[in-house]
Structure 1
């Protein structure tokens, strides 16, 4: 169930207070909005925080950065939408102070314990801060919505179904005049958490998709495009095109209602949040690692199974103590009621639930 800010126990801080840190960095609330001597940030925060990764988070991250820097004029936050794979690699190498990723680190990756910026032997923090459906987007003149089941979606993206008027599509869309037009299926060329979530849904729901879930596209053929923007541009600028992207980027393109049980479900933030709330935590993780295992096969009413859960990833214990106040302040702002509301407005995300918020706040508070 999607919870509003009034349906969860909020972190009752707002504005500058929401992103200030404890101790010597926290000024008296009566002076919180007044200019500080010498042009310093009213919160006392200063320095540069370097992040990057998931391009799906880009719209929300730009909004979060703008709000955070407005309240903390001495602080700079950089977020480069390099893609999830590059973001994780940069975090491992210590090039990013934090990263965004459309999947959590896997057990074998965590076992290597080679996170350069983190104190060896300490866990990393992984917070599912960005919950959004992945939309299947298409461009067909005069058609704005189609119903498709998992097997048909898989056949289209594998290249087995090549025409829009194929009977497998037509049989699910009575009354829709489908053109005798070639299908151009667009996929990501870069390693992508969006691709991994999309292929995980297909792998879990139909034997037609005989490849494992992967962040790298597993089949030959189709058209490849770099990043979320590349896929959206390729679909938008083509005819008879179809692709997949974070739903916030669907714009005016046609979208697919996905078959769940006996119904076809349109994407929505509420439907995405519903499947996240029903999914279990990943086993064997530290308390600050909030990775979950999505149940893609749920047939519950109103659940949308092609959902992207994108994570904020940070050290729980940094080699460089100087970066800690900025990391805690920025991550704390993102998960707050205020930050999540900014994400809703900028990118249409589903706000995190009360239970997840409490765990996320504890994880952020533990960073040192």
Structure 2
């Protein structure tokens, strides 16, 4: 797990007498002008959430003018590490906690023996972004996509790409595949998709740290976007909300190809089952990457908020509960949709997430 910047948790509680509610942490519902919350809340994790976290911070701080929220986009692995070590009172992650590396046990120990809470807060397509002069509408089947990132398809005029794009004028140029160089939940979701739907072409399994040499590595979502933007004939993967004006490939689903729209991304969560490890406080899903349903974009990250189910420090707990409650609320989800291009959580899932956050106890 990569090294992470440790942020201290500074908090002052100036009469935080009322428990935070789903209206953004205010006790009065008057846009926060009489909110009793105050202090600084530091969290961090998945860089894919950076744009959405900016919208959530702005909305929550407007409702609670005595509160400052900071979010450090150090990557999912760093966020989980800092939560488990106690550096963050909450974290954002593009994959849920497991015990593959003892993280779930570590989080339980950090939460004084109680299993952590995990709720989805963000659904967004992972766009396959590209910078290819003269090609505006790139289509890629799962096997072709996997072959590119495995390093087996190395030129843009390869027959496999040409078969997916019979009307495109593909250049005879080398492909520069760009991957995340840091431990990344986005990489985990992307490689999980590749190994699930194109296991013969992608034999490296689901990993959060890029497993092969070759191509170009870049740190964070913004780093991948910058590398593809600045590199002719490049292709990469990144949260669609941060892809800017780069080309976004349509990915093969069933008999057609689907573009990475928020609406198409949200549909996969609705058809996916809860994980076998889901509990009353861990609302986690195993995405159905193999769906052939039209209108569903299959390469999706469903990000999570990770926190403790109880906080002995009332001021700390009130801030965590208030902020998380705002994020999963209808207003919070719409703020992210408007400012980050994500898809609001389906109503049934948002209701379950809200109930889990409401169950956080403080003091």
User: Alpha-carbon deviation of 1:136?
Assistant: 0.2
Question: TM-score w.r.t. structure 1 length?
Answer: 0.89
Mark the CA change 1:177 to 1:34 in structure 2 (over 3 Å): closer, same or farther.
closer
Q: Which residue of 1 aligns with 2:66?
A: 74
Q: Is the 8 A contact 2:189 2:206 kept in 1?
A: yes
Q: Name the SS for the 2:88 alignment partner.
A: coil
Q: Is the 8 A contact 2:44 2:73 kept in 1?
A: yes
Bigger mean CA deviation after superposition, 78-87 or 42-51: 42-51
Mark the CA change 1:17 to 1:358 in structure 2 (over 3 Å): closer, same or farther.
closer
User: Alpha-carbon deviation of 1:318?
Assistant: 2.1
In 2, Cα distance between equivalents of 1:89 and 1:110: 8
User: Alpha-carbon deviation of 1:117?
Assistant: 4.6
In 2, Cα distance between equivalents of 1:33 and 1:291: 31
Alignment of 1:134-145 (within 5 A): 134-145=126-137
Q: Is the 8 A contact 1:119 1:318 kept in 2?
A: no
Structure 2 segments unaligned to the other structure (5+ residues): 1-20
The answer to whether structure 1 residue 304 and structure 2 residue 309 are counterparts is no
Q: Which residue of 2 aligns with 1:324?
A: 317
In 2, Cα distance between equivalents of 1:134 and 1:86: 20
Q: Which residue of 2 aligns with 1:364?
A: 357
User: Alpha-carbon deviation of 1:286?
Assistant: 2.2
Question: TM-score w.r.t. structure 2 length?
Answer: 0.90
In 2, Cα distance between equivalents of 1:72 and 1:357: 22
Structure 1 segments unaligned to the other structure (5+ residues): 1-15, 36-41
Q: Which residue of 2 aligns with 1:333?
A: 326
Q: Which residue of 2 aligns with 1:168?
A: 160
Alignment of 1:148-159 (within 5 A): 148-159=140-151
Q: Deviations over 1:193-213 (max 9, x none)?
A: 000100011000111101110
User: Alpha-carbon deviation of 1:33?
Assistant: 5.4
Q: Is the 8 A contact 1:117 1:320 kept in 2?
A: no
The answer to whether structure 1 residue 86 and structure 2 residue 78 are counterparts is yes
The answer to whether structure 1 residue 265 and structure 2 residue 270 are counterparts is no
Mark the CA change 1:60 to 1:114 in structure 2 (over 3 Å): closer, same or farther.
closer
In 2, Cα distance between equivalents of 1:128 and 1:178: 39
User: Alpha-carbon deviation of 1:354?
Assistant: 1.6
In 2, Cα distance between equivalents of 1:152 and 1:191: 24
Q: 2:208 aligns with which of 211, 215, 218?
A: 215
In 1, Cα distance between equivalents of 2:236 and 2:154: 14
In 2, Cα distance between equivalents of 1:233 and 1:34: 38
Q: 2:115 aligns with which of 119, 123, 136?
A: 123
Q: Deviations over 1:214-235 (max 9, x none)?
A: 1011111111111101100000
Moved over 3 A (4+): 32-35, 107-111, 113-117
**RMSD over aligned Cα atoms:** 1.6
Q: Is the 8 A contact 2:42 2:89 kept in 1?
A: yes
Q: Name the SS for the 2:225 alignment partner.
A: helix
User: Alpha-carbon deviation of 1:148?
Assistant: 0.7
Q: 1:345 aligns with which of 329, 338, 349?
A: 338
Q: Is the 8 A contact 1:93 1:116 kept in 2?
A: no
User: Alpha-carbon deviation of 1:292?
Assistant: 0.6
Q: Is the 8 A contact 1:129 1:311 kept in 2?
A: yes
In 2, Cα distance between equivalents of 1:17 and 1:309: 21
Q: Which residue of 2 aligns with 1:9?
A: none
In 2, Cα distance between equivalents of 1:33 and 1:268: 32
Mark the CA change 1:202 to 1:338 in structure 2 (over 3 Å): closer, same or farther.
same
Q: Deviations over 1:50-107 (max 9, x none)?
A: 1100000000101111121122111111100000000000000010111000000014
Q: Name the SS for the 2:249 alignment partner.
A: strand
